[in-house]
Structure 1
Amino acid sequence: MSNIQKEDQPNRFSVEPEVVDGVLIVTVHGEIDHNVKDTLGQALASEDGITPPLRIVADLSGVTFMDSSGINVFLTAHLRVSQAQGWLRIAGAQESVLRVLQMVGIDTVIACHPTVEHALSA
């Protein structure tokens, strides 16, 4: 497991990818905006930097803010894994983040679950 932090914003954003039973779990903390979209996209693209994952759970329980950049990153990851017969699930989104996901309809495209455990067992 590795911890990736934006060097210019070490306390604002971190992402920790971990593979559990063949599922890439990406735990995100802080704010998701245009400054961190590439880092988040890379974490969702591959845990080892080589093999694209087919099953991903994005744990957003530590995310306090997300703008359209984050939505685009998740949609891109969803399309990629769906085309390969995989899935992306969002877990633990705080109310403010979940509200954004619902306002733009992402929750109708990407399954949102209250916890990582729920997402893994769905």
Structure 2
Amino acid sequence: MPSLTLAHDERLPGVTVITVSGELDATNRAQLDAYVKDLPAGRLVFDLSGVPFMDSSALHVLLMCDARCRREGGSVRLAAVQSLPARLFEITGVLAHVPVHGTVEDAVAAALGRAERSV
């Protein structure tokens, strides 16, 4: 299993893009949880283009992050989701609650209120 790598950068004022690479599962959910808790709640975009697999424990972390951001007036958006994580989002109903976009650029634009185009 490839190791998990996490990085972030601020794109335009107020939108932080978190780039995630590697499989997200119970073995590294604590790493993801600690990473996102260290970021200020706001408008977050998760670039999941490098995530071929995600289990429910990692999904739980993303949902808790979304809840924290919403409480503080922000939002979470997911971008560039591969097929297996997309299937997890579909069968769990996450798509009804967390916007998913085809590209990071679309997600950033939507977070800034410039577009609401989601996949």
Establish whether TM, by shorter chain, passes 0.5.
yes
| Structure 2: gaps of 5 or more residues | 111-119
AA aligned to 2:27 is N
1:108 aligns with: 96
Cα deviation for residue 53 of structure 1 reads 2.6
Within 2, Cα distance between the matches of 1:83 and 1:118? Answer: 23
**1:14 counterpart = 2:14:** no
| Structure 1: gaps of 5 or more residues | 1-8
Number of residues of Structure 1 aligned to a counterpart in Structure 2: 109
Higher RCO, 1 vs 2 (CA within 8 Å, ≥6 residues apart): 2
**1:41 counterpart = 2:33:** yes
Within 1, Cα distance between the matches of 2:32 and 2:95? Answer: 19
Written as runs of structure 1 = structure 2, the 5 A alignment for 1:65-80 is: 65-80=53-68
Cα deviation for residue 45 of structure 1 reads 2.3
Identity of aligned residues (%): 33
Once superposed, what is the RMSD of the aligned Cα atoms? 1.3
Q: Is the 8 A contact 1:27 1:59 kept in 2?
A: yes
Q: SS state of the match for residue 98, structure 1? A: helix
- For the structure 1 residues 18 and 42, does the alpha-carbon distance in structure 2 shift closer, same or farther, using more than 3 Å as the test? farther
TM-score by length of 1: 0.83
1:118 aligns with: 106
AA aligned to 2:9 is E
AA aligned to 1:14 is T
